[in-house]
Chains A and B, each alone.
Chain A
Amino acid sequence: AQKVTQAQTEISVVEKEDVTLDCVYETRDTTYYLFWYKQPPSGELVFLIRRNSFDEQNEISGRYSWNFQKSTSSFNFTITASQVVDSAVYFCALSVRGQNFVFGPGTRLSVLP
């Protein structure tokens, strides 16, 4: 069975601090996909990134970066120089071919001015 753990329920940082959101996943399949979504207070889930299990390259997109490590089954997300607009709930999700998305419980990030 698949499982996603986001151990941090809530995180508060002050604007301009860096923050890392942890995601640990479990699956026995060798082919799988990992995702991060952002859910601001408005409610919509905004897609941030998709990574397949064969691509362990880290990715950077502006202030966002992702660290995928198969050895520790982790797919962590770092926001550099956080801003108030980054305040949201962030979900990590796992998908195995033919199966539904498995979402983690989410991490609520509050960026204080």
Chain B
Amino acid sequence: DTEVTQTPKHLVMGMTNKKSLKCEQHMGHRAMYWYKQKAKKPPELMFVYSYEKLSINESVPSRFSPECPNSSLLNLHLHALQPEDSALYLCASSQVSPQGGRTDTQYFGPGTRLTVL
């Protein structure tokens, strides 16, 4: 059983809506990630939080806004999305090595399937 949970499992929203995706991990990990995955493609990294601070933003449009309220929670706030943003959104977490690298195993949640109409 996964120890990374994501809600909701499915989300349908209009282009003017505001919604949030939630992710929670109970493994004591201090790095958390958001990925976007289109059909038949590998996951694409969007954001990385390390020790609750945003460390990487892979040039993601501002209509996606991440938030890390504490070491166990990660949110992704959505606003004014486009139909091309429809995808599977995956959350992951990992330990952070003493040297600060993020090469440890990432554990993924079940994902949220987002459809933008």
By a beta-carbon cutoff of 8 Å, the part of chain A in contact with chain B is 32-33, 35, 37, 42-47, 50, 91, 95-98, 100-101, 103-106, 108
- Interchain residue pairs with CB less than 8 A apart (19): A37-B108, A42-B110, A43-B90, A43-B111, A44-B108, A44-B110, A44-B111, A47-B105, A47-B106, A47-B108, A91-B42, A91-B43, A96-B103, A97-B99, A97-B101, A98-B100, A101-B45, A104-B42, A105-B42
B51 at the interface (CB under 8 A from A): no
By a beta-carbon cutoff of 8 Å, the part of chain B in contact with chain A is 2, 40-43, 45, 48, 56, 88, 90, 92, 97, 99-103, 105-111, 113
- Mostly, the B contact residues are loop
5 new A-B contacts, CB < 8 A, other than A43-B90, A46-B108, are A44-B111, A45-B43, A47-B105, A106-B41, A106-B42
B110 close to A103 (CB less than 8 A): no
Write the chain A residue with the least CB distance to B107. A47
**A33-B103, A47-B107 known; A100-B45 Cβ under 8 A:** yes
A53 to chain B minimum Cβ distance, whole angstroms, is 10
Q: In the complex, which of the residues B41, B102, B109, B110 contacts A100, with contact meaning CB atoms closer than 8 Å?
A: B102
Write the chain B residue with the least CB distance to A100. B45
B31 to chain A minimum Cβ distance, whole angstroms, is 11
Q: In the complex, which of the residues B40, B42, B101 contacts A103, with contact meaning CB atoms closer than 8 Å?
A: B42
- Give every chain B residue within 8 A of A37 (Cβ-Cβ): 108
Write the chain B residue with the least CB distance to A106. B42
Write the chain B residue with the least CB distance to A33. B103
Query: Complex Cα distance A46/B41, Å?
Result: 16
Write the chain B residue with the least CB distance to A96. B103
Query: Complex Cα distance A106/B101, Å?
Result: 25
- Give every chain A residue within 8 A of B108 (Cβ-Cβ): 37, 44-47
Write the chain A residue with the least CB distance to B9. A43
Query: Complex Cα distance A25/B55, Å?
Result: 26
Query: Complex Cα distance A37/B109, Å?
Result: 13
